[in-house]
Amino acid sequence: MKCAVIMVTAATETIVVDESLRLGIVDYLIKPYTLQRFEEAIHTFLKKNNLMNNRATVDQATIDLLLQNRVSAAPPAELQKGLNQSTLALVLKQISEQPKNTKHTCESISASTGLSKVTVRRYLHYLMEIDKIETEVDYETGGRPRVLYKLKN
């Protein structure tokens, strides 16, 4: 008998996640999760299940659909603890209102938004985690190198 499992757990240890993936779970939801994320897990499972059950053979396009990466560059519906949606919007607005290839520093964003450098840095790290911005290090400052941030294309 075949069984498909969507893991619903509070476990976040990489060893648990890795072992679960190796055992073949179809999705992994960390509590607390949103209804939207749960519905996405069910929808994705049903879509993949229908792809496999409605045909005797598969082509490369079908395999690609079955193995597609569900990780998106969009921010999650709920921000991680300690982050605020309006502050995130302020930082993103500051970065996105400049021409595409403009490189920002933590200090320049701090000065233009009125936020502390520590706060700006926290939001910039979050934006890197969700793949919205990229960084490069400027060593030609005549002193301590600085990190430059810009929107991803």
Q: CA 108, CA 115: separation in Å to the nearest integer?
A: 10
Q: CA 75, CA 56: separation in Å to the nearest integer?
A: 38
Classify burial at 38, counting beta carbons within 10 Å of its beta carbon; exposed 0-12, middle 13-18, buried 19 or more: middle
pLDDT along the chain (153 residues), means of 10: 88 92 92 88 84 75 68 53 88 84 89 93 87 86 86 81
Q: CA 27, CA 11: separation in Å to the nearest integer?
A: 14
Between the two ends of the chain, the Cα-to-Cα distance in Å is 46
- Quick one: pLDDT at residue 144? 85
**What would the two tokens of residue 65 be?**
């659909």
Asked if 127 and 79 count as a contact pair (C-beta separation under 8 A), the reply is no
Domain spans, the chain: 6-66, 85-151
- Quick one: pLDDT at residue 97? 83
Topology of domain 85-151 in CATH is: Arc Repressor Mutant, subunit A (1.10.10)
Q: What ranges in the chain are assigned the alpha helix state H? A: 14-22, 35-53, 60-66, 85-96, 106-113, 117-129
